[in-house]
Amino acid sequence: MLNTLSSDALDTLFRTARTQNGWREKAVTDEQLQALYDLAKFGPTSMNTSPARFVFLRTPEAKARLLPALAPGNINKMRSAPVCVIVAYDRRFYSHLPELFPHRADAHAIFEDNEDLIESTAFRNGTLQGAYLILAARALGLDCGPMSGFDTKKINDEFFPEGDVRVNFLCNLGYGDPGKVLARLPRLVFDEVCTLL
């Protein structure tokens, strides 16, 4: 881990990357989505729990199922994006721990019947995986438009009726329209948010 990314690469991932509000008419392929996941899956999660679940909405019919749950300001953003990802988390992630965390044979038992631990672990690590997905998309040349502004219950009822998987946030993917990007907003500086002890 001695290599540092180039300044251009850091720009791509962070400094010049922007949240997209509009999209060019350029398709994102299924192969790109596979490559995206195959990169994002390597981001760390506690005990390798990997609770994130991704539903890639690519067709008008799939997107239509999401429309009733969206805040009005998000409807056109989602419709015009080549792909909208429902970033969700699986509350029964621990059933995969015998495979994902074989170092401890009873790892799944830590979570059984502990609803608070299940929820906090699934949500926290699923959120991390959603962030890894954004960074992986940027690294592969895609733009991102993460979104809140939706009815959680409606999405869960429509896409995850079994109840174990729950939506976290949405993220549009594609090739952004530079003319629809808002001006860069300020960020807090180091001394405002960081403490050195």
Instruction: Indicate the pLDDT class of residue 107, thresholds 50, 70 and 90.
Output: confident
Percent of the chain surpassing pLDDT 70: 99
pLDDT (0 to 100) of residue 65: 98
Domain boundaries in the chain? Answer: 23-177
Query: Token match 């999209």: residue?
Result: 23
Instruction: Indicate the pLDDT class of residue 3, thresholds 50, 70 and 90.
Output: confident
Mean pLDDT of 93-99: 95
Does domain 23-177 bear CATH number 3.40.109.10? yes
pLDDT (0 to 100) of residue 192: 98
Q: What is the mean pLDDT of the chain?
A: 96
Long-range contacts of 37-43 (CB under 8 A, 24+ apart): 37/133, 37/136, 39/136, 39/139, 39/140, 40/129, 40/132, 40/133, 40/135, 40/136, 42/132, 43/128, 43/129, 43/131, 43/132, 43/135
Long-range contacts of 13-16 (CB under 8 A, 24+ apart): 13/135, 13/138, 13/139
pLDDT (0 to 100) of residue 160: 98
Mean pLDDT of 6-17: 95
Q: Is the pLDDT of residue 108 over 90?
A: no
Measured CA to CA in angstroms, residue 111 lies from 44, 108, 178 at distances of 19, 6, 45
The type of residue at 92 is R
